[in-house]
Every structure is written in C-alpha cells, then in structure tokens.
Amino acid sequence: MKKEMVFNLLGLFFLVSLTASCSLSSSMGLQLKGNDAYQHGRYREALGYFEESLEISRNSLVPSAESEYMIGNIYYWLGQYDDALNNLEKALAEYRERDIEQWVANTLNSMGFVYAAQGKYEKAIFTLKEALEMKKQLTFSPGKAATLNNLGVVYMELAQYEKALSYFEDALKIWTDKNDVEHMVTAHANIGFAYALLGQYDKALSHEEKALEMSKDVKNPLQRANSLMIIGKSFSSLGEFEKAVSYHEEAYGSLKELDTPFYTAACLHNFGETYTAMKEYEKAVTKYNEALQIVKEINYPKGIAENLNGMGGVCTALAQYDKALSYHEEAVMTAKKIKEPRSTAAGLNGIGDVHAAMGEYDKARSFYEEALAIRKELNVSQDIAESLKSMGDLCSAEEDYKKALSYHEEALKIRRELKTPKEIIESLNCMSDDFMALGESGKAQTYHEEALRMDNKLNSYKEN
C-alpha cells in the first residue's frame, strides 16, 4: 500500500511516492529519509538516498518504480530534464506492467512538468490531460486536484490566465469539498495571482485575503511559506510593493528556521523581482546575489540562470554594462547546458538590451533576433511579444519609426489577445511615441488616451 503526499512549490504539485509494503526494511528506511530530504528541498541529499534504495531493489529483484519515480522528480528540480524523463519513463513502464493506474497517472503528471521545463508546452499539456483523464476514471484518486492545479500552472507560464483560472477553480472545488485547508490556501493564492495578471484587481484582492486568512490555520510551515510567496508575487503584480515585501519577509522568516535551500533561494529571487519593479536596484542585486549563492551551492542550474539574468537586468538599469553582459552571458551558457530554452532566450534578449543601451544597435539586433527565433519556436506568446517590443524600441532608438511602429503594433496585438493590461499599456505608450515622432499627433493622442484610461482603471481599486 502506498501513501501519497501532495508536494507544492509556488503552486506546483508533485505526488510523492512512499512504498509502505517494501519487502526490504533497509530500502524502506532509505526511502523515508529520501522523502524527508525531498520535502525540504534538499534534492542532492534526497537523490543519494533514492539511488541507494534503487540499487537495493534491483539487486533483490523487487519492484523499483517508486525509487525511479522519485529520482525522476528530483532530477526535474535539479534541472536535469533528460535524466528526469529517463527515470520517469522507467517508472511509468513498471507501473503500467503492474497495472497500478493511480501511479501511472501520477507519473504522467510529473512527466508533464518536465516537458514544460523543456519548452515543450503542447506535449506538457497533452500529458497532464492524459493524467487527468485517467484520474477521472478512478473511483479513488486523491491526486486529481493536483493535476488540475498543475495544468493551471502551465497555462500561467504561457500567460493564458483565463484557462489557468478555470483549472485552479476546479482544483479549489475539490479541495474545498475535502476541507483541505492547506491546499485551499494555495488555490486561492494562485487564483488571486492570475486575476492580478489579468488586471482584475478586486477579484485578485478577494482571493489573496481569503488565502491570508486561511493560512493562519496551516500547520505545515513550509506549505504556509509557499503560500505567502505566491501572495507576495500577487501583491507585487498589483503594484502593492510594500505589502509584497512584507509577505516575502514573512515567508523568508519561516524558511530560515527550516533546512530548505531551494525554497529560500526562490523567496530571495522573489525579493529581487519586487525590488527591481520598485527600482530599488541595489537591494534587488543583493537579493539576487544571495539567491545565486544558494542555487550554486545546491547545483540548481535553472535557478542559477534565472538569478544571473535578474542581476544582468538590474546592472543594465544601473548602466553597469560590463557586469550586465557578464551575468547574461553566464546565464545563457548555463541555460544552454541544460537545454532550457526560455532562460536562454531571456539571457540573449538581456544581452541585446545591454548593447542597445550602449548604442551598439547592430549587435543588439543580432541578439534580439536570436532570442525571438527561440521564442517563436517555443510559441510562448508573452515572450514573443517581449522580443517584438524590444525590436521596436531598438528601431525607435535608430529613429526608424515606421519599422518601430510595425514591431510595437505586432506586440500590442499579441498582448491584447492575452488580455494582460500592464503590457497592453506599455505597448500603447510605445505606439503613441512612434506616432508622435512621425508627426501624427492625432493618432499619438488616441493611443495615449487609451493607455491612460486603462491605467486609471487599474489603479482605481486602490482608492476604494
């Protein structure tokens, strides 16, 4: 018989497999130690335990799917995606052979997130939906809500926030029916975050307030810290930066008392993002650097690339161009090693930003085009729009306003489809500037007024 535990990081859930009927007590003990390390984000330590357990299982000719499954999940967090799939596929084959449908579905759930990390979003969604359909057919399937939630997380990555909301709300219904307060908190936080990114601030605030109130009853300190991190990100999206910082601080305070380097680094990265949005760049670079030291220590390459890109962006804003180039170049190199295309493209776009800021427009264009090509291949609309906006800004700097207008218009079209108001406002203002530079003041005024109306609407909730 297996015990299932739902495991969560910023709204992402994996099902942790623990074999309570393992024929070898030594293997069972190793799995228990491995699970404890895994749940606290000590992935290298966990990997050692499960690899030892796997070796015992193989030598004793007993089922090894549980260890293969957990090793696959660990490799996901370590950014070793090919290794993750290799182990998960072995687990999947054994679970299918043993006809354990619940764990076939759970393994597909994990594989879906590996595909998403590789930028294979269509395959990720297909695999997660396959897992969901299997769970719907089972009489008892405690992991159904987790898979619904995970589909929501993938759609959040794609900036398809309305689809994400649908899945988060379905997950919330299941957890509410079970009175599963810990996961209800995460669901409310995720829903609030999605509404914040859609600019529906009243709804966002309502869900975040529910999450905060319910979080007081969450006894698991790691679970509560995770929820606080999501809430902090949501308030940052709402422009409520002081509140965001306070929730990051509360989460960080909880995490400092736990041996959870992975989560601590994630929290510090969130600090960096919020301080960047506040234009408090010195504080931002300090937090990114603290996070970077942790992810380097635990050898988490995706986190290394993300924090390097964060530091590169801040250094560009501070006109520290040599440092910015160095950080982005290291990020690209790190991301390419693990075949992580989104961080690769982000780094290339960041290098383009540096060259553009230095007036080296031909170099900037080369890097922007390389980033855009990767993003088009991935077909992640929000990233494509960002690259198009960068290309438009570059053309504006070169005073080629007609070409700038073309890029900005294309970016605006995508952002309207995604219904992301902050980005729409940004694109409207770019187009207003382009038309003004072209001497078409009437059109410039039209776009400026639309941007102003949207901005006033976004900020109106603060006055209520």
Each residue of 247-261: pLDDT tens digit? 999 999 988 888 788
In one-letter notation, the amino acid at residue 253 is G
Q: Calculate the average pLDDT of the chain.
A: 90
Encoded amino acid at 125, one letter: I
> Tens digit of pLDDT for each residue in 419-447?
999 999 999 999 999 999 999 999 999 99
Q: Which pLDDT value is given to residue 224?
A: 86
**What pLDDT is attached to residue 164?**
96
pLDDT category of residue 370 using cuts at 50, 70 and 90: very high
Judge whether 424 and 412 are in contact, CB under 8 Å: yes
Q: Quote the pLDDT of residue 410.
A: 99
What sections of 41-199 are H helices per DSSP?
43-59, 65-77, 81-97, 101-117, 121-137, 144-157, 161-177, 181-197
Domain 1-144 identical in fold to domain 287-379: yes
pLDDT in tens, 17-47: 544 444 455 777 888 899 888 887 788 899 9
Give residues with Cβ within 8 angstroms of 4, minimum separation 6.
15, 16, 17, 18, 106, 142, 143
Backbone φ and ψ of 201, nearest 5°: -70, -35
Going from N- to C-terminal start, the domains of the chain cover 1-144, 287-379, 380-464
User: By the 8 A CB rule, do 347 and 384 touch?
Assistant: no
Secondary structure class of 415 (helix, strand, coil): helix
- Residue count of the chain: 464
Q: Return the minimum-mean-pLDDT range out of 6-20, 280-294, 404-418.
A: 6-20
Mean of pLDDT values over 360-371: 99
pTM for this structure? 0.87
Average pLDDT of the residues in 100-121: 92
Q: Which of 296-310, 342-356, 405-419 has the lowest mean pLDDT?
A: 296-310
pLDDT at 21: 41
CB atoms within 10 A of CB 216: 9
Work out whether strand 2-9 and strand 12-19 pair parallel, antiparallel, or are unpaired: antiparallel
Look at the block and give the residue holding tokens 């390097």.
Answer: 308
**pLDDT for position 19:** 46
Instruction: Kindly report each contact of residues 401-405 with a partner whose C-beta sits within 8 Å and lies 24 or more positions away, as own/partner.
Output: 401/434, 401/437, 401/438, 402/438, 404/430, 404/434, 405/431, 405/434, 405/435, 405/438
Quote the pLDDT of residue 61: 59
380-464 placed in CATH 3.30.1860.10 = no
pLDDT in tens, 168-195: 999 999 999 999 998 999 999 999 999 9
Residues whose CB falls within 8 Å of the CB of residue 141, separated by 6 or more in sequence, listed in order: 102, 105, 135
Cα radius of gyration (the chain):
23
Give the C-alpha separation, 178 to 457, whole Å: 37
Q: How far is it, in rounded angstroms, from Cα 28 to Cα 23?
A: 8
The CA distance from 318 to 328, in Å, is 15
pLDDT at 8: 42
Domain 287-379 fold is 1.25.40
Assign a CATH topology to domain 1-144. Answer: 1.25.40
The reported pLDDT for the residue numbered 14 is: 53
Provide the pLDDT for residue 288. 98
